[in-house]
Structure 1
Amino acid sequence: MTRTPPHDEAAEQAVIGSALLSPRLVAELADLVQPSDFYRPAHVELWQTVVELHASGAPGDPIAVAAHLADLGSLGRLGGAPYLHTLIASVPTSANGPHYAGIVADYARRREVAELGSRLTHLAGSNSDTRDVLAAGRAMLDAAPAPAWPSPMPLTARHTPRPFPVSALPSWLADMVSAVAEFTQTPSDLAGCIALAALSTAAGGRLEVEVRGSWREPANLFTVVVLPPGSRKSAVFTTLIRPLLDAEAKLIERTRPAIIEAELALRVAAKAAERAANAAAAADDRGRDRLIADATAAAMTAEAITVPPLPRLIADDITSEQAASLLAEQGGRLAVLSPEGGIFATLAGRYSGAPNLEVFLKGHAGDMLRVDRRSRPAEHVDRPALTLGLAVQPEVLRDIAQMPGFRGKGLLARILFAVPENTVGRRRIGAEPIPMAVSSAYADRLRAFVLGLADRCEPAVLRLTQEANERVLALEHDIEPRLAPSGGWAHVVDWGSKYVGAIARIAGLLHLAEHLLGGLTSPISAGVLDQAAEIGAYFAEHALSAFDDMGADPLVDDARHVLGWVERSQTERFTKRDLFTALSRGRFRKAADLDPVLNLLVGHGYLRAVPSAERRGAGRSPSPAWLVHPDVLRPAGTVRPISAGRVS
């Protein structure tokens, strides 16, 4: 051919520009167009880079792509950073990206047809027999190479969740979170989530948010950060929790005189009651009734004296029974804060042999908790407020989903998960320590927070301004469709149903952190509600990632199960009948149950449907067949031959 092959350079630019503008579109666009479909070589390499970055979970914005190409030494060859901005400028709207991808894919097919036509034209102009030319043409069509495999997309097509929105915190708290993250070279998510748990500890049991009517949310949170070992979790915990321990020591110092006085009064009253009882026992019939009455009054006086317990804000390795007792002793306030996740195994029954989640379920919801003891009458807490702040390893996250009752009874639905990017291996050595002014401001305010609320018997009730209430209504309208059976949160409907309530709780904590005790008499503003909603959106993204890791989406879980069979069997081609025969009937009861799973795997590039053979003669149609992406059949970073044949 002497003319330029058919192509549309503007459409190619628009596809890449759409992906750079909206990285969330990459999975959808990659299903429509492959790198080899682009005509311009620079576009082939650029699109391959964008797809690979997305598949690895790395950012795909123009700055990240330019930095990656610069590291590879190919940025200048591909047009430099200015050309990336040219690609973005060529996009009228990224929403049309799939349309542009269809244009690019269509021109790629046209070029294939043109190439075949050119080769047939060449044969027709030769001295070959026309029957030979036709046979050669059919052979060319049959032997036309299958489209190249693009890199498969992650099954959930989700990016690495956003970093913690530090700017949504009050300045004194934001400064401390940023300084701790910088000094420890840890993701800001860890310090941010523990800082929220620290606020929850300080306010627990003393603060409620009235959303609307009788809808009230206690201002206590369950936060869990997922990070691998060696991530300096303990250092972050120690730094951010120390002011709470200092405040606990202050409370003990303030309460100790009352404890001593009550213990002394109790001993005196007990001795008096004992003497009165002895006198009544020794009296004759004439004076016994009066002495018995005196002894009874003395015993009741002794019984009425209560020795205050030593104040306790924080527990670490604790059983459900111990947590219930401490909640009763501490007037309903307690926090379980730990850089480890051993508490989950304890709740699952490591010591008792049976899961015991009631204390944590009621401690989050604020429902009345009754505690029975052998040595004393039953005690109860009207409004328990339990705070949970943990940092767990990824293996723990996957384990807790399988623990009895954790999902079914609603414990996981109450947790605000954070799954940040691990910084190990990229940490800066010799980071600046936390400025003294920053740590002092944090410690002073947090201690004032604790001490100022400690003596309250009834929780302070924070209300919303009218504008803030409208923000909550808008959130509810936005979230409700996502909880429908076909919605994006259908597989986490239990968690999503508590989402708006969690934002209200966060708003209450941010309001009081901003105004301290002066905020007890003022309503929560729309601005604070917006800040809480920004933090809530962060937790929503991370919850989807966490539940995905826990296998919360049945379809994705089934797809991974099928991929597991493919990897084990090392089959490069299989039929639906092969697959149904090999897999468990407990998971797939009918062959039709495989259809949505296979469609998902095809859509994400792990499988490719084989054209059905034409049915000849009697009998049933051949079973549909699929080819397997080569990357599925070999571990990452290795090259080895793919075994032929099928496993039935």
Structure 2
Amino acid sequence: MNRPAHDEGAERAVIGAALLSPSLVTELAAKLNPGDFYRPNHGALWDAICRLDAAGTPADPIMLAAHLAETGDLARVGGAPYLHTLISEVPSVANAGYYADIVAGHARRREVSELGLRLTQLADSGTDTADLLATSRALLDDTSTGAEWAPPIPLGTGRHLPAFPAHVLPGWVADMVRAVAEFTQTPVDLAGSIALAALSTAAGGRAEVEVRGSWREPTNLFTVVVLPPGSRKSAVFAAITGPLLAAESALVERTKPAIVEAELAARVAGKAADKAAHAAANADASARDALLAEASAAAMQAEAVTVPSLPQLVADDVTSEAAAQLLADQGGRLAVLSPEGGIFATIAGRYSGTPNLEVFLKGHAGDMMRVGRLSRESQHVAKPALTLGLAVQPDVLRDIASMPGFRGLGLLARILFALPENTVGFRRIGADPVPAEVAEAYRDNLGALVLTLAGWTDPAVLPLTEDANARVLDIERAVEPRLAPGGAWGHVVDWGSKYTGAVVRMAGLIHLAEHLRDGWGKPVEAETIDRAAQLGDYYAAHALAAFDDMGADQATRNARHVLAWIERTGSTTFTKRDLYRATKSATIRAVADLEPALAVLDAHGYLRQIDPPARPRTGGRPPSPTFLVNPDVHRPAATVHPIRDARRTA
């Protein structure tokens, strides 16, 4: 089958010329609409350029990249490097009008071709001639003049979420995050969220941020990224967490001599205790009391010898009991990092049949935990610090909402969710690998952070400057009204109540990562709180979308699935049969399963059905209904930053 008429080179040249010479945009916009571009990312770029021009802002590469980052569409259109690629490929800015004519001409040809295909399908179905002509006129009217569309009503908060603000991370972390995302062609959100979990692994249990009074926040986080299968999650995990395993090996080598020495001391003390006990047992009555005292002292001395455990920073799919024991053995620090979400099913009772959330709840809060042991008395972990860094599939996100205790006991309230836009289908082939110097700096610095803090038994205390404390108070003031009944966060008050603490924790991690070897000796600055607050804005928007998705009914979920297909393909019209072939899945098993989803999209103004032709009088298969898509679907939406905007207006 022939591909639809288009000239990708001309599309790239038009956009590149507009970026090189923003004064041409008004002239070119008179010839081209965003829907005239065959490539959806080119249409999105042209729409953004025209919007900037209409607002009086020059659509140069820097302004356009900043605008797309603000709307959350930068990754979807190819990232900032793609803008520079477009510029470098422009043959001549003087020929921009000629390139625009080529793009517009191909768009008209596609319209004619698509209309002809629809009419052919109707004719082949045996539709009555009169009905066929009536439908033809309807299609011509709708595709040429178009009826007025009202702005669509959003399906919850899941669309056009903000992109991960990697620029707020310390330079060596931000460079690695961007480079890994570019090489793997994955959303920056994935590498960014896992990088935060890596910093949490290094510092968790070894540092606390002192806000004011007795309020201290540990520096460990729970991050969960939601992406479908085939998103290269494992490759990103390997790149971001690999240095942690190298640092763990270094800790093991550093600890081995102490283990050997302790084991030897334990054997010597044990033999001395056995010898003393044997002597006391065989002594006569006159000497027995003194020998018993000596034997008791020797036994206590042998019991006091502690053999250090081999250091372990990272675990994968462990049970709650195993995680508790590891926390006890590792001095209260442990990270569960995995590109899969199996840990949720495990703690929900996959093996035991009984959910066990205590270690995860206390491990996040830093509450004292008692760990029972079969062979010895129970151990106390005074301030456990558990890190969670996962990438899960969308179905897992929906499943965990129904797992016993996850919402009611507060586990979900502790998670920083990221729901990035899937890049599969838009990935650039042959992307540049991570530069050696970037990977080396990341490995060395993350390893230094691990090794520097490894020796701390009591957590280092990081105070806030006076200005930093004022910033925290501003955040609290902005958040509190949102938690009230009817407030923006009233339905996620459990998550929102922990928001300020999460921002403080991230600020502590940024501070330590920028002061690798002496961070505990410096207070956290206001500028660091501001940067962490940008991360807070990002995670707040994504948390609302995650909880909205977890609470949505199946019709709404399927509607989002259909809407994602429309956005990804740039479809402006389609038949129900075509849609089914493209979106068939575990929840859309038959064409009839699309009915509720299409009804939701119709009610929200995303599409409308063209009046279907009558059933063929000669019998046979009826034609598949045809739908038109609201043009606003393919226009990027503005991104709102509730906390940051509230601070600006405070």
TM over 0.5: yes
Matched, 1:193 2:193: yes
Shift of 1:255: 0.7
What are the residue-to-residue correspondences of 1:182-581 with 2, within 5 Å?
182-551=182-551, 560=556
On the 8 A contact 1:154/1:604 being kept in 2, the answer is no
5+ long unaligned stretches in structure 2: 1-27, 58-146, 561-597, 613-622, 628-650
Secondary structure of residue in 1 paired with 2:208:
strand
Structure 2 distance, partners of 1:345, 1:478, is 36
- SS in structure 2 opposite 1:389? strand
- Partner Cα separation in structure 2 for residue 418 and residue 376 of structure 1: 42
**Cα drift, residue 450 of structure 1:** 0.6
CA offsets 1:111-150 (integer angstroms, 9 cap, x no match): xxxxxxxxxxxxxxxxxxxxxxxxxxxxxxxxxxxx9775
**Per-residue CA distance 1:397-430 (angstroms, 9 max, x = gap):** 0100010000000000000000001111111111
Contact 1:606 1:632 survives alignment (8 Å): no
CA contact (8 A) 1:153 1:604 kept: no
From 71, 77, 92, the counterpart of 2:37: 71
SS at match of 1:472: helix
Q: Is the Cα contact below 8 Å between 1:153 and 1:605 reproduced in 2? A: no
SS at match of 1:225: strand
Q: How many angstroms apart in 2 are the aligned matches of 1:191 and 1:561?
A: 26
The residue aligned with 2:135 is none
Amino acid at match of 1:606: A
The 1:84–1:226 alpha-carbon spacing in structure 2 relative to 1, beyond 3 Å, is closer
Is 2:603 aligned against 1:606? yes
CA contact (8 A) 1:607 1:629 kept: no
- Distance change in 2, residues 1:606/1:388 (3 Å): same
Q: 2: CA distance between counterparts of 1:83 and 1:293?
A: 90
Which residue identity is paired with 2:471? R
Paired residue type of 1:223: T
The count of residues paired between Structure 1 and Structure 2 equals 459
TM-superposed deviation, 1:154: 3.1
Q: How far, CA to CA, are the matches of 1:393 and 1:464 in structure 2?
A: 38
Identify the residue that residue 178 of structure 1 maps to in structure 2: 178
Q: Which residue of structure 2 lines up, in the alignment, with residue 640 of structure 1? A: 625
Cα 1:151–1:517, aligned 2, differ >3 Å: closer, same or farther? same
Tell me the TM-score normalised to structure 2 length.
0.66
SS state at 1:301 partner: helix
Q: Deviation string for 1:185-221 (max 9, x for gaps)?
A: 1111010011000000000101101112111110000
Shift of 1:463: 1.1
Larger RCO, structures 1/2 (Cα 8 Å, 6+ apart)? 2
Contact 2:369/2:382 (<8 A) preserved = yes
- Alpha-carbon distance in 1 for matches of 2:439, 2:33: 35
- Aligned amino acid, residue 218 of structure 1: P
| CA distance 1:183–1:274, change in 2 (3 Å) | same
In structure 1, how many angstroms separate the alpha carbons of the residues matched to 2:610 and 2:493? 34
1: CA distance between counterparts of 2:424 and 2:173? 25
Q: Is this contact kept in 2: 1:66–1:81, CA < 8 A?
A: no
Name the residue aligned to 2:118. none
Kindly indicate whether the alpha-carbon contact (under 8 Å) linking 2:549 and 2:557 is maintained by their aligned counterparts in 1: no
SS at match of 2:386: strand
1:566-606 Cα deviation digits (max 9, x unpaired): xxxxxxxxxxxxxxxxxxxxxxxxxxxxxxxxxxx999961
In structure 2, the CA distance between the partners of 1:632 and 1:160, relative to structure 1 (3 Å rule), is farther
Deviations 1:159-198, CA, capped at 9 Å, x for gaps: 3211110100111111111111111111110100110000
SS at match of 1:427: coil
Tell whether 2:148 aligns with 1:163.
Answer: no
Cα pair distance change 1:405/1:259, threshold 3 Å: same
Looking at structure 1, the residues matched to 159 and 609 of structure 2 have their Cα atoms a distance apart, in angstroms, of 23
Deviation at 1:156, TM superposition (A): 1.6
**Runs of 4+ deviating beyond 2 Å:** 65-70, 72-76, 79-90, 147-155, 556-564, 601-605, 628-633, 638-642
Q: Give the whole-Å Cα distance in 2 for the aligned partners of 1:391 and 1:338.
A: 7
Alpha-carbon distance change, 172 to 81 in structure 1, aligned in 2, over 3 angstroms: closer
Please give the per-residue CA displacement for 1:67-119, whole angstroms capped at 9, x wherever unaligned.
Answer: 8334159999xx999875675469xxxxxxxxxxxxxxxxxxxxxxxxxxxxx
Tell me: CA distance 1:430–1:562, structure 2 relative to 1, closer, same or farther (3 Å). closer
SS of the counterpart of 2:417? strand
- Tell me the amino acid that sits aligned with residue 283 of structure 2: A
Q: Which amino acid aligns with 1:304?
A: A
Distance 1:228 1:307, change over 3 A: same
Q: 1:186 to 1:366 in 2, by over 3 A?
A: same
- The 1-side partners of 2:161 and 2:242 are apart by 29
**Structure 2: how far apart are the matches of 1:181 and 1:307?**
42
Give me the whole-angstrom Cα distance separating, in 2, the residues matched to 1:82 and 1:188: 23
State the shift of 1:559 in Å: 8.9
Separation of aligned partners in 2, 1:563 and 1:392: 21
In structure 1, the partner of 2:570 is: none
Q: Are the aligned partners of 2:34 and 2:47 in contact in 1 as well (CA < 8 Å)?
A: no
Sort the Cα spacing of 1:530 and 1:66 in 2 relative to 1 into closer, same or farther, 3 A.
farther
- Following superposition, the deviation at residue 518 of structure 1 comes to 1.7
Contact in 2 for aligned 1:209/1:505 (Cα 8 Å): yes
Equivalent AA in structure 2 for residue 548 of structure 1: D
Distance 1:86 1:246 in 2: 50
- Which whole-Å CA distance do the structure 2 matches of 1:550 and 1:397 have between them? 7
What's the offset of the Cα at 1:267? 0.9
Following superposition, the deviation at residue 487 of structure 1 comes to 0.9
Deviation at 1:560, TM superposition (A): 4.7
1:91-130 → structure 2 map (5 Å cutoff): none
Q: Could you tell me which amino acid in structure 2 is paired with residue 640 of structure 1?
A: P
Residues 1:81 and 1:274: Cα distance change in structure 2 (over 3 Å):
closer
The amino acid across from 1:429 in the alignment is I
What percentage of aligned pairs have identical amino acids?
63
- Deviation track 1:483-510 (CA, whole Å, cap 9, x = no partner) reads 1111111111111110010000000000
Counterparts of 1:373 and 1:460 in 2: how far apart (Å)? 29
Secondary structure of the residue aligned to 1:281 is helix
Contact 2:273 2:295 in 1 (8 A): yes
SS of match in other structure, 2:363? helix
What CA distance in whole angstroms lies between the structure 2 residues aligned with 1:197 and 1:230?
22
AA aligned opposite 2:625: R
Q: Specify the code of the residue in structure 2 equivalent to 1:153.
A: I
Give the Å deviation of 1:517. Answer: 2.3
C-alpha distance in 2, partners of 1:252/1:475?
A: 41
Name the Cα RMSD after superposition. Answer: 3.3
With normalisation by structure 1, the TM-score equals: 0.66
Separation (CA, whole Å) in 1 of partners of 2:411 and 2:558? 29
How many Å separate the matches in 1 of 2:274 and 2:501?
54
